[in-house]
Structure 1
């Protein structure tokens, strides 16, 4: 995995770029919005690790990148707003194909728990909770910071702007709410 860092912000991960390019036709106009969302999550994970004295090995960074790439992908590749299971399944299939089946459990937990409203607790707490907080920081546009310095959030957002990501989430939520008014946010967990 080739990684490029600019001003302490990770700006290019080869594995991630390969995956995103494969899916680019399915994203349509949402490509840049999703790409930037994924990189913001990765960088928020890095900040979390630094803040909590967690060493990120090459493999751990790749696990985060793969989970980030796949975490919402079911929206676009499976055309569903109930996307956790399809996204996790696609990640699992990819990991098995790539000879990284030993990462399946961790990546699956990261994807399945990233919209958990309360803190995640288990033996895999660090990675799953790190990923959960990173996604919440981004989805909330920094309103939830989990004690991440606002300067870090702004610095990451400056390099990877929103590009309409949140507007698109609102559109998707409204469309899904009309179809399933009793379950408007099927991905949320308590």
Structure 2
């Protein structure tokens, strides 16, 4: 699967701020965008652009704002980008894609099918492909080979570990029911 060119273009402007974690984050974003598209084979050009934008910004607050409570700053940065590009009409959907991507239960608003597909795609990637939601195992393996982990899951485990050391009985702030 070819990478989403827009996604790489958007990510490039954050490369310095993301620093050494950039290759892992870039590959995570490309994998989850591809998983989203695998779940929505009927996605058109606008949907592909929305997926690329949401993928770029979905975890960005970790680095842009230096916080594990990264959903609000990630959404804000996406909204700012959309406003600058004259794409304000997409803001609600893309913010939902970002804000709900760690939701434990399905997102059930039929007006926004990208949100649930994006949530599932992130879980496919975070689970290292153990959860597939019907995506073929060959597709998962091919995407993992094309976009190697580059330490992304190690970064996630470090963030989670630091959270649980300080808050052993509380889920991280990005988890939603």
Aligned pair count reads 177
In the alignment, structure 2 segments of 5+ residues that lack a partner are none
Partner of 1:80: 67
The answer to which structure, 1 or 2, has the higher relative contact order (CA under 8 A, 6+ apart) is 2
Asked if 1:31 is matched to 2:18, the reply is no
Instruction: Identify the match of residue 136 of structure 1 among 102, 123, 126.
Output: 123
Native 8 Å contact 1:10 1:39 kept in 2: no
Asked if 1:111 is matched to 2:111, the reply is no
Partner of 2:148: 161
Alpha-carbon distance, 1:175 to partner = 1.4
Partner of 1:99: 86
CA distance in 1 between counterparts of 2:169 and 2:92 reads 30
After superposition, the C-alpha distances for 1:36-69 in whole angstroms (9 at most, x for unaligned) are 000001110111112xxxx211111000000000
Native 8 Å contact 1:37 1:165 kept in 2: yes
CA distance in 1 between counterparts of 2:128 and 2:22 reads 19
CA distance in 1 between counterparts of 2:17 and 2:166 reads 22
Give me the CA root mean square deviation. Answer: 1.2
Asked if 1:10 is matched to 2:5, the reply is no
After superposition, the C-alpha distances for 1:6-34 in whole angstroms (9 at most, x for unaligned) are xxx02241x32222111111111100000
Alpha-carbon distance, 1:180 to partner = 3.3
Alpha-carbon distance, 1:123 to partner = 3.0
Asked if 1:49 is matched to 2:36, the reply is no
Structure 1 or 2: more strand by fraction: 1
CA distance in 2 between counterparts of 1:93 and 1:180 reads 32
What TM-score results when the alignment is normalised by the length of structure 2? 0.95
Partner of 1:63: 50
